[in-house]
Amino acid sequence: MYEHKKTTKAEKSVFYVEKMKKLLKKHFGHDTFRPFQEEIITHVLKKKDTFVLMPTGGGKSLCYQLPALKLAGLTLVISPLISLMKDQVDALKMSGIAAEFINSSLPQSDISRIQKDIQKGKIRILYIAPERLALHSFKGYLDTLDVSLIAIDEAHCISEWGHDFRPDYRNLKFFKEQYPDTPMIALTATATPVVQNDIIKELSLHSPKRCVASFNRENLTFRILRKKHAFDKLLGLLEKHKNESVIVYCFSRRETEEIADNLNAEGYKALPYHAGLDSTIRKSNQEQFITDEAQIMVATIAFGMGIDKPDVRMVVHYTFPKNLEGYYQEVGRAGRDGLPSECVLLYSYGDKRKHDFFLDKIQDVKERENKSKQLDNVIAYSENRSCRRKYILEYFGETYPPESSISKGKKGNESCGACDSCLRPRETFDATIITQKILSCVLRTGSRFGKNYIVAVLKGSRDEQVLRNRHDSLSVYGIVNDHSKDELKEIITSLLQESVLISDKGKYPTLSVAPKGITFLKQKETLHLPKIHEDLIDAKNTGKRETLEYNTGLFEKLRTVRKQLADKRGVPPFVIFSDVTLQALAYYLPQNKENFIKIEGVGEQKLKEFGELFIATITTYAKKNTVPSHDIPDKNRRKTSSAKRKIHANALKYHQTKEMVSRKMPLKKIAKEHGVKESTIINHLDRLLDAEEKLDLGYLTPSKESIKTIAHAFEHCGEEMLRPVFEYLGEQYSYEEIKLVRVILKANME
């Protein structure tokens, strides 16, 4: 006789989780939750307030999108990102979820239609901008709805202590008064502990569960490069990311357009984006970037918050940003799909003057001091010589790294293995004598000057201020000839980090000798400092993520199919399938629906809409090229292969170019051998010279008249940018000719 067994709480929980996983796979194509998602979703469905701090790309949106499928009424999402709303709604619709948005981009007729559909219960998720809540008519409309969940995205915008405060977010306070029994979830990617507390207070969250995920993005590699020959360095970086999406952040609108123009002159498809552009042009440029019509977006910080593009492979800051919160959010645009990506910051302390100009205009003393302190944190991060990842994570209050996840470098130093500090060999040099000279110079000049002035005195500069102060008569004047100015500046930075020197925090920081430095001089101690290395431009991305040795030919075929489908539907390609999904398809080669649905990122709706076309493409390619398929592991965890994605060996290309130059092959023929443009070969020559390779470029030299004319133009316009030289010469010479002369002049100086 069957005896009824009472279901235990644990069994109910397991059953519930499995139901949620089925919804997860059905609509979003994922087999498992990411860290914290399951816990957050469970809490939200218990109708309790929740605070979520999760890095960009960590899966915040799912924390309210999945509960929306279970809750009876409407899920209301407040977001300041008007440009992002459409992409998110398109993605939800593609996954079989009824969603809409209402913002200023829609005509009133569309808004009226959407509002009627909501009242009929046809819509599960509605995105709105915070500005709409200032309208009494819209507040009245909300009163007629059954709102079952309120999600506040980019919640840091409510805090005056945050990096992106928006007054309109203060209007959100009314939600707890109007909907006291409706659960609220506040989500953000960047917030210090102070900002976290402020968000909870300002939104009146009731005993919220705090879910703070790790800020660590293991797939990202962090680099700081000295801002010297910056544009050439940018070209070197872009050469590693051909046909991949890249964002270059600039300080000003003018710089944005100049760099975009210069990149286009180098053969890239780059578009500018800043608040000064006509809104139609700005929107068009953004759409071209999102839909892969353009590879590079050169932008001010006006661009990025509204971008949900998961396959950005590199983010470059051409000028260092004004705070670490904004910086981490901006670099968070890279590698949202979890694939290895790169974050590069071009740093020069001299760029601080650009930020100081705007700081001086802030009237409120407290606000000015707060922003000045934030800027100091960015400078400290940029000049820091220890692990970049460790520094920035600890800034956000996270201890890094856990003992189980670190590799130990020499001398027991912790290494993330994916930043320029950790990738460099941990070598030191005997800095005893140069340190004595630097400290003596600081003391003899009265501890009243900054880094640049001390360097000027040590190098024997005829600078007007040095002569006026009669510091050319000091014994330390001009005593350093074995270190360049840049090397001296880096050594001073190391002495500051070793607490041998002290720098005040004024607008024009001055150096003084610390007690440790006094002891060093009196006791005649020895000192070793980190060895100064060249910038790591060519180093491969080492962001941690297991990737597959997928068939690149098939991957490109699938990208073409994806692009065609996306264009037909008027959506970005990643809304169809992510690069992660395409790589899995190009590795496992599923050739029937049963296997296709097992691939990460393939849900029931997408199988129904796109399955046949992709399966046909895979089958045809596999048959034509005799490509074997692989067994798809259970749950598609892809643990059967730990092989890393192949990265192009640039070093081999340069060696081949050098060998061809030694045989005095024409530039055109070298380019043809490589299958690239002549400008790329000129870049090779430039990089070889930087690596101190000896090149005989005499046979490539144009006429004496051309050399003289172009050299004069460089003297007048500077060497960094080609466009000013091109225009100065009245477009008489091509960009390739100008660039080649620059390289030849450089070779003659070696």
Question: Are 185 and 147 within 8 A, CB to CB?
Answer: no
Question: Are 427 and 530 within 8 A, CB to CB?
Answer: yes
Q: Which two three-digit tokens encode residue 736? A: 């390739």
Q: Which two three-digit tokens encode residue 345? A: 């910051």
Indicate the SS3 state at residue 416: coil
Confidence of residue 424 (pLDDT cuts 50, 70, 90): confident
- Mean pLDDT, range 96-115, rounded to an integer: 91
Distances 25 to 38, 96, 117, 400, 581 between C-alpha atoms, Å: 14, 12, 27, 33, 14
- Mean pLDDT, range 478-486, rounded to an integer: 89
Q: Which two three-digit tokens encode residue 153? A: 């995205």
CA distance 498 to 28: 50
The predicted structure's pLDDT at residue 384: 84
| From 60-74, 176-190, 626-640, 722-736, the region with the lowest mean pLDDT | 626-640
Confidence of residue 325 (pLDDT cuts 50, 70, 90): confident
Residue from 691, 667, 665 nearest 679 by CA: 667
Distances 61 to 16, 51, 127, 136, 316 between C-alpha atoms, Å: 20, 13, 12, 28, 26
The predicted structure's pLDDT at residue 647: 27
Indicate the SS3 state at residue 122: coil
CA distance 464 to 407: 51
Q: Which two three-digit tokens encode residue 355? A: 């930020």
As a three-state string, the secondary structure of 561-596 is HHHHHHHHHCCCHHHHCCHHHHHHHHHHCCCCHHHH
Confidence of residue 439 (pLDDT cuts 50, 70, 90): very high
| From 286-295, 544-553, 612-621, the region with the lowest mean pLDDT | 544-553
Residue 270's DSSP bridge partners are 296
pLDDT, tens digit, 9 for 90 and up, residues 534-546: 665 555 555 555 5
pLDDT at residue 20 tops 70: yes
- Mean pLDDT, range 309-318, rounded to an integer: 93
CA angle (407 as vertex; 406, 408 as ends), nearest 5: 115
The predicted structure's pLDDT at residue 223: 93
| Domains of the chain (ranges, CATH numbers) | 9-212 (3.40.50.300), 220-423 (3.40.50.300), 428-530 (1.10.10.10), 552-636 (1.10.150.80), 650-749 (1.10.10.1390)
Total number of residues shown for the chain: 750
CA distance 512 to 492: 11
**Selection from 81-85, 111-115, 407-411 with the highest mean pLDDT:** 111-115
Indicate the SS3 state at residue 93: helix
Residue 74's DSSP bridge partners are 147
Residue with the two structure tokens 């003084």: 512
- Mean pLDDT, range 439-464, rounded to an integer: 93
DSSP state of 249: E
The predicted structure's pLDDT at residue 403: 42
Residue from 481, 495, 484 nearest 530 by CA: 495
The predicted structure's pLDDT at residue 626: 87
The predicted structure's pLDDT at residue 261: 93
Beta strand spans in 404-527 (E): 407-408, 414-415, 428-430, 501-503, 511-513
The predicted structure's pLDDT at residue 750: 52
Compare 319 and 56 and report the one with higher pLDDT: 319
pLDDT at residue 13 tops 60: no
Residue 343's DSSP bridge partners are 222, 315
Confidence of residue 136 (pLDDT cuts 50, 70, 90): confident
For helices 678-690 and 667-674, give the axis angle rounded to 10 degrees: 100
Confidence of residue 560 (pLDDT cuts 50, 70, 90): very high
| From 68-82, 120-134, 598-612, 668-682, the region with the lowest mean pLDDT | 668-682
Distances 129 to 69, 97, 273, 274 between C-alpha atoms, Å: 22, 20, 22, 21
pLDDT at residue 1 tops 50: no
Residue with the two structure tokens 């205009």: 361
Confidence of residue 634 (pLDDT cuts 50, 70, 90): low
Buried b vs exposed e over 93-130: b needs ≥16 C-beta within 10 Å? bbbbbbbbbbbeebeeeebeebbeebeeeebbbbbbbb
Confidence of residue 97 (pLDDT cuts 50, 70, 90): very high
The identity of residue 695, as a single letter, is L
CA distance 345 to 319: 7
Beta strand spans in 105-171 (E): 125-128, 147-152
As a three-state string, the secondary structure of 166-221 is CHHHHHHHHHHHHCCCCCEEEEECCCCHHHHHHHHHHCCCCCCEEEECCCCCCCEE
The predicted structure's pLDDT at residue 542: 54
Compare 576 and 547 and report the one with higher pLDDT: 576
Residue 53's DSSP bridge partners are 188, 212
Indicate the SS3 state at residue 605: helix
CA distance 229 to 739: 13
Residue 222's DSSP bridge partners are 343, 419
Q: Are strands 50-53 and 125-128 parallel, antiparallel or unpaired?
A: unpaired
DSSP state of 7: P
Within 8 A by CB and 6+ apart from 116, the residues are none
CA distance 260 to 272: 6
Q: Which two three-digit tokens encode residue 231? A: 């544009």
**Cis peptide bond upstream of 633, omega within 30:** no
- Mean pLDDT, range 557-573, rounded to an integer: 92
Within 8 A by CB and 6+ apart from 280, the residues are none
- Mean pLDDT, range 600-609, rounded to an integer: 90
The predicted structure's pLDDT at residue 303: 66
Q: Which two three-digit tokens encode residue 107? A: 């005509």
The predicted structure's pLDDT at residue 741: 87
Largest Cα–Cα distance of the chain, in whole Å? 108
Question: Are 7 and 28 within 8 A, CB to CB?
Answer: no
DSSP 305-353: TT---TTEEEEEESS--S-HHHHHHHHTTTTTTSS-EEEEEEE-GGGHH
- Mean pLDDT, range 17-32, rounded to an integer: 82
Confidence of residue 15 (pLDDT cuts 50, 70, 90): very low
Question: Are 138 and 132 within 8 A, CB to CB?
Answer: yes
pLDDT at residue 645 tops 80: no
pLDDT at residue 45 tops 60: yes
For helices 324-331 and 388-395, give the axis angle rounded to 10 degrees: 120
Distances 237 to 233, 265, 393 between C-alpha atoms, Å: 6, 16, 25
Residue from 743, 740, 715, 736 nearest 265 by CA: 736
CA distance 318 to 227: 8
Q: Which two three-digit tokens encode residue 310? A: 């998961």
CA distance 124 to 71: 9
Compare 109 and 635 and report the one with higher pLDDT: 109
Residue from 70, 88, 45 nearest 124 by CA: 70
Q: What is the mean pLDDT of the chain?
A: 84
The predicted structure's pLDDT at residue 406: 36
pLDDT at residue 360 tops 50: yes
CA distance 417 to 18: 37
Q: Say if residue 21 is exposed, middle or buried (CB neighbours under 10 Å; 0-12, 13-18, 19+).
A: middle
Distance of CA 242 to the CA centre of its chain: 17
Q: Are strands 147-152 and 50-53 parallel, antiparallel or unpaired?
A: unpaired
Question: Are 281 and 299 within 8 A, CB to CB?
Answer: no
Residue 224's DSSP bridge partners are 345
| CA Rg value for the chain | 29
Q: Say if residue 745 is exposed, middle or buried (CB neighbours under 10 Å; 0-12, 13-18, 19+).
A: middle
- Mean pLDDT, range 360-389, rounded to an integer: 86
Whole-prediction pTM: 0.66
